Amino acid sequence: MRISGLFAKITATALVLTISAFAFFAFSQEIPKSSDEIRVGISYGASSSDTVEIKSDCGFDIASAQSDFQHYDVSSVIGKASSSGITLSTKLGGNILSAAKGQEIIISNENALLTVGNTSYRGKIILFINSSGKITVVNKLPVDDYLKGVLPYEVFTSWPEETLKAMAIVARTYAVKAMISSSHASDGFDICASTHCQSYGGTAKETERTNNAVLETSGCIITYNNEVATTPYFSSAGYYTESVSSGWGSSAELFPYLTSVYNPYEDYRRITNGKWENVVSKNDVINHVSSFYREKLSGNITDISYERQENGYINSASITDSSGKTIKLNTSSSVRSFFGDLVKSANFGIAETYVPSGRSTPAVTVISANGTYEMTNIGGYDYIDSEGQKKCLGVESVYVFDGKGSGHGIGLSQYGAKYMADAGFSYEEIISTYFPGTELSYLE
Ligand SMILES: [Zn+2]
């Protein structure tokens, strides 16, 4: 294993307030209005269902392409997929309306939440048949109402108010960006409800604190050069974030604000998964490698070479298997992806040592890439079993992965935002730290 001296330049100056405008903006893109509604994919694709039940406490207003809204005073409606489209009926089987393939059924009630499965939603529920012949369920609602259902899933609701506001703005920017252009356009919505985009759970976990953070920042988004910024975020970092060019191979010129920044306030040692370690037998590493890469290898891993940047992230690695095949990884996200569940982020080092067979903890002091570690649980290799027999454990060769932070490392660190607010920084300062050179603007 070699650790070469290739250091990426870390250009951002942390904690310099660069937000310069709080004005309504003349956007060069077609920007959604503050009151515009976002389409959130609740279930879609091959794993979606062919029957969906929607409940309401005070009836429904239902429309399709062929019919205007009409009120139905029932507590439940059921959509069923068929080869020709969707049929919507009451629970007792009374037919309400049908929609052909390619057409939507819109279910609404301005005075009540609509419940799908066990989750209640603000706004409308839209049903249509997808390419798998199942029912795609979309929740269409104003962006701020959507954010009320995002924040409780993306932060701890007990976190400081300034952290919640920063996250509301970052999540709103992410949502508005998705409304302008989205990889889900072909799915028939703007954003999905899972961690793929932003976790969203309807009204289930709404709290007054998170709702207030959304309302008090209403319409506020992050912009760069009069365009909506790209605002990824992740759980935690070990002081440094990763740049978008090294992390995802994206253009540093297009996203100068997604550079590696330093936040000394993030106390990663106190965070779950903020500082982590995994010990794995060398012969077992291959079993942890993500399936995408495992399929490309044809034997155990025999050599791991990597280059670590000054910010800690590994953005270049070369992995060789016993057949001599080598995989080269050129971004930190591909490195993180390669090592699967062995790593929480690409900010890690690998040390080699020996442990007694079957033990998960090294029995010796390890000089790791992050410094010297006094490993606990130090034991001899001999032991006396329950019948008084002296036994000897063999030793095996292991890799120790020790790292900092959790997630892709690009953009805003959620825990970093928490610790900055604890230290007295405002949401504006949190955002200008993680997205240096950007501005805050307001949707009309
Ligand atoms: Zn998504």
Tell me, what's the pLDDT at 91? 85
Per-residue tokens: 211: 């709702």
Read off the DSSP letter of residue 249: -
Taking the centre of ligand 1 as the mean of its atom positions, its distance from the CA of residue 406, in whole angstroms, is 20
Taking the centre of ligand 1 as the mean of its atom positions, its distance from the CA of residue 45, in whole angstroms, is 12
DSSP 173-224: HHHHHHHHS-TTGGGTSSEESSTTS----TTTT--HHHHHHHHHTTTEEEEE
Taking the centre of ligand 1 as the mean of its atom positions, its distance from the CA of residue 191, in whole angstroms, is 5
Are the CB atoms for 433 and 15 separated by under 8 Å? yes
Taking the centre of ligand 1 as the mean of its atom positions, its distance from the CA of residue 72, in whole angstroms, is 33
- The count of other CB atoms within 10 Å of the CB of residue 176 is 25
Cα 409 from Cα 422, distance rounded (Å): 21
pLDDT tens string 299-355: 899 999 999 999 999 999 999 999 999 999 999 999 999 999 999 999 999 988 776
Tell me, what's the pLDDT at 357? 60
Cα 104 from Cα 99, distance rounded (Å): 6
Taking the centre of ligand 1 as the mean of its atom positions, its distance from the CA of residue 115, in whole angstroms, is 22
Taking the centre of ligand 1 as the mean of its atom positions, its distance from the CA of residue 270, in whole angstroms, is 30
Read off the DSSP letter of residue 31: P
Are the CB atoms for 97 and 67 separated by under 8 Å? yes
Cα 98 from Cα 77, distance rounded (Å): 12
Taking the centre of ligand 1 as the mean of its atom positions, its distance from the CA of residue 418, in whole angstroms, is 25
Q: Residue 435's closest CA among 226, 260, 267, 309?
A: 260
The two most distant CA atoms of the chain are separated, in Å, by 84
Tell me, what's the pLDDT at 252? 93
Q: Residue 217's closest CA among 161, 160, 258?
A: 161
Residue reference for tokens 């330049």: 9
Residue reference for tokens 């062929």: 66
Measured distance between the N- and C-terminal CA atoms of the chain, rounded to whole angstroms: 55
Taking the centre of ligand 1 as the mean of its atom positions, its distance from the CA of residue 307, in whole angstroms, is 31
Report, as ranges of residue numbers, the positions in the chain whose pLDDT lies below 70. 1-29, 355-386, 389-395
Tell me, what's the pLDDT at 398? 83
Tell me, what's the pLDDT at 84? 87
Taking the centre of ligand 1 as the mean of its atom positions, its distance from the CA of residue 200, in whole angstroms, is 11
Taking the centre of ligand 1 as the mean of its atom positions, its distance from the CA of residue 43, in whole angstroms, is 11
Each domain of the chain, given as residue ranges in start order, spans 9-48+130-269+405-444, 49-129, 275-404
245 contact partners, CB below 8 Å, separation of at least 6: 251, 252, 255
Taking the centre of ligand 1 as the mean of its atom positions, its distance from the CA of residue 184, in whole angstroms, is 7
pLDDT tens string 205-244: 999 999 999 999 999 999 999 999 999 999 999 899 999 9
Q: Residue 125's closest CA among 236, 45, 39?
A: 39
Q: Give the CA-trace dihedral at 196, 79, 112, 120, to 10 degrees.
A: -30
9 contact partners, CB below 8 Å, separation of at least 6: none
Taking the centre of ligand 1 as the mean of its atom positions, its distance from the CA of residue 74, in whole angstroms, is 33
DSSP 303-321: EEEEEE-TTS-EEEEEEEE
pTM: 0.84
Taking the centre of ligand 1 as the mean of its atom positions, its distance from the CA of residue 5, in whole angstroms, is 37
Taking the centre of ligand 1 as the mean of its atom positions, its distance from the CA of residue 230, in whole angstroms, is 15
